Amino acid sequence: IDTAAYQFRPRTIPADGPVRALTVASLQAYKGHAVLLNALALGGAGVDRITLDLIGDGVLRGDLEQLADQLGLGQRVRFLGSRSEVEVRTALDEADLFVLPSVVADDGQMEGLPVALMEALACGVPTVSTALSGIPEIVVDGVTGLLAVPGDAVSLNGTLAAMVELGDEAVAFEEAGRALVTREFDLKQSAAVLGGLLAGQ
């Protein structure tokens, strides 16, 4: 990504009141939205404070909206549909927490290196994801964010609770996350390195 396009704003998890969580992902099985909804429904002091905005659209929207209602989350979860890149950046700037609950779908489909995680870390949003595929290269557990077990709502619930409990201490993850994305995934730096390699051939 072009890290210069994402304003870095370190932030803390609010000590009380709502915690505004954001997920940016197409509504497909391997993105794990159903696991996230079930994790929120399990509750707990920290998790009960989380409200969730879902940016993205897809074939599962109707099913996920129905699941949210069945779990009693209708007042805490908003399905915002597709949004422009500018709108996504605004949402990242306003979020207290970013969540990408990726899983392996029944058909074997899974993440590689999700750009959404790079964008969240570049903006300084405390980030929770799952220990799957290339995700731990971006969200280094306990360093740039926290990881849950893929597909495990109980694990995700506990990971979300742990992040909320960190409060002010989450800032350390954010600084490390921005540094990692700038160092390893910045578009201009990567292009320069690639150009150097090609020139040396």
Burial 21-48 (b: 16+ CB within 10 A, else e): bbbbbbbebbbbbbbbbbbbbbeeebbe
Q: Please name the residue that has the structure tokens 């959404």.
A: 116
Residue 180 in contact with residue 138, Cβ under 8 Å? yes
Rounded CA-CA distance 86/118 in Å is 16
Rounded CA-CA distance 66/74 in Å is 9
Rounded CA-CA distance 162/181 in Å is 23
The predicted structure's pLDDT at residue 201: 60
pTM of the model: 0.92
The predicted structure's pLDDT at residue 196: 46
- Smallest Cα–Cα separation from 36: which of 142, 170, 164, 148? 148
Q: Please name the residue that has the structure tokens 């290269």.
A: 137
The predicted structure's pLDDT at residue 187: 60
The predicted structure's pLDDT at residue 200: 57
Rounded CA-CA distance 100/147 in Å is 10
The predicted structure's pLDDT at residue 197: 44
pLDDT mean by block of 10 residues, the chain; 201 residues: 93 95 98 98 96 98 98 97 96 98 96 95 97 97 98 98 97 96 78 45 60
